[in-house]
Amino acid sequence: MNTEGTANFQLVDLKIGVSARDTNTDTTGLVVQPFGANNLLEIHYFEDITKANVIIALKLTDSSSGVLGRLKGMEPVEIVFCDSDEKNYIGYQMVVYDIQDRMILDGKQTQATIFCVALDAVRNSSLKISKRFGKGGGKFTHEIVGHLVEEELKSNKKVLMDESETKLSFVSPYWDPYTIISWLSWRSVHKSGSGMKSAGYLFYEDREGYHYKSMDNLVDQDTRRTVHINMETENPNKNDIYINGFTLTGTSDIFRGLNLGSYASATFTLDMKDFKYTEVPFYINDFYPEMKKLDAESQLPEFYKRFGGKDLGGGQPTRIMTKVMDTAMYTEGTYTQDLTRQLSQSMIRNQFFFNQSAVFEYVAEEMDLRLGEVVDVIKNDPRTGEVDTQVSGRYIVGKIYRQFLTENDSMSTRVTLFRDSMG
């Protein structure tokens, strides 16, 4: 994959359903209107590891059917496109949720940008759930997620999940499914793996379907490809990416970490069942050495070591959390004191997972780069020829934005990477 040249893509299928009234029967039905490459000006495709749904924006022109002028929202959209070699197909069935920049040109031609999302997202916003999950002995959190997608959202999308060892029994207080999943993600601990396990999951959608993935498992993956910065070679690896520009866009937000209690926190709980009072301290120095990381050899930055507990000269939590609980409301065996500790762990995991971000762009010949995969970034110092350790290292693909311009059949890709340790 190179930064130079033009990469072609193909529009395989694009259909939009619009309401039309039959004058003979005076009834309204759905008419499917196909759009060809001549009607499609741009595709903007968004995947985000922190978002539940893929977003697609289509800039269209319509000179004959008048379909764009009749769009009101919630119309079904089916789109399929592929890369130049027809190796990777991307296809979605979605609905229109927003219409922008609608214009009439020359009195005849209509132009508009329509924003599309899975029908699941609309169903989610319309559902407010009030019921108990995990009756009896509790239920594994990944099983609850599967139930929410399949039974509550009525989705036919696949759900690719990392199994959780966490069982919970709880009542949803009129939350929508995505809110419940987010609540579960902070409390879920991955089932398998060695070393210290931490709570923290991510829920997102890509072309394969939904993913409910443990952060521990994501950072523990093998590297799938390498991103080379400013490297010229006569025999490039087709699986690798060769780029000229690379921007480190953000590093750890210290104030955010302090406010969240990511380095040192204390949770005070009062159980209304027996009026038992408990204090649960949490210090990053106790957790970080065993935490799964992209770079297993990375050391805790000096700044964080001051929050190492009383025996290391620290001990002052930057966040105090108080919780009033009634364990009588939970199914026996599904609530433990570890739950408060897991919340602290998940805050640290979340803080470090997005510790540093970077962005690069390239002209993509293939659409095989996937959300959530691990890439190895290599940049050599131009003065010494040695590896630039401040930039190089393992990153996770966190966002993918693809832009398709039908005027010249070009496809460009902007990728946002995250890593949990700085160089």
CATH number of the domain within which 148 lies: 3.55.50
Do 347 and 264 belong together in one domain?
A: yes
pLDDT tier for residue 356 given thresholds of 50, 70 and 90:
confident
* In the predicted structure, residue 286 carries a pLDDT above the cut 70: yes
Q: What is the pLDDT of residue 337?
A: 47
On whether residue 152 sits in a domain, the answer given is yes
Do 62 and 140 belong together in one domain?
A: no
Do 13 and 101 belong together in one domain?
A: yes
* pLDDT above 70: percentage of residues in the chain: 85
* In the predicted structure, residue 310 carries a pLDDT above the cut 80: no
The alpha helices in 203-291, defined as continuous H runs, are 215-219, 254-260, 284-287
Do 176 and 264 belong together in one domain?
A: no
From the CB of residue 359, how many other CB atoms can be counted at a distance below 10 Å? 16
Do 130 and 171 belong together in one domain?
A: yes
Domain-ending residue, one of 352, 368, 386: 352
Name the more confident of 32 and 63: 32
pLDDT tier for residue 32 given thresholds of 50, 70 and 90:
confident
On whether residue 382 sits in a domain, the answer given is no
| C-alpha dist (Å) from residue 26 to 67, 275, 366 | 20, 68, 48
In the block, residue with structure tokens 């470090």: 352
pLDDT tier for residue 330 given thresholds of 50, 70 and 90:
low
Q: What is the mean pLDDT of the chain?
A: 83
DSSP letter for each residue of 376-402: EEEEB-TTT-SB-TTT-EEEEEEEEEE
Task: Return the minimum-mean-pLDDT range out of 67-76, 108-117, 404-413.
Answer: 404-413
Domain-ending residue, one of 218, 244, 267: 218
Q: What is the pLDDT of residue 309?
A: 54
Q: What is the pLDDT of residue 65?
A: 65
Name the more confident of 411 and 396: 396
Domain that holds residue 66: 9-122
Q: What is the pLDDT of residue 381?
A: 77
Task: Return the minimum-mean-pLDDT range out of 47-51, 167-171, 372-376, 380-384.
Answer: 380-384
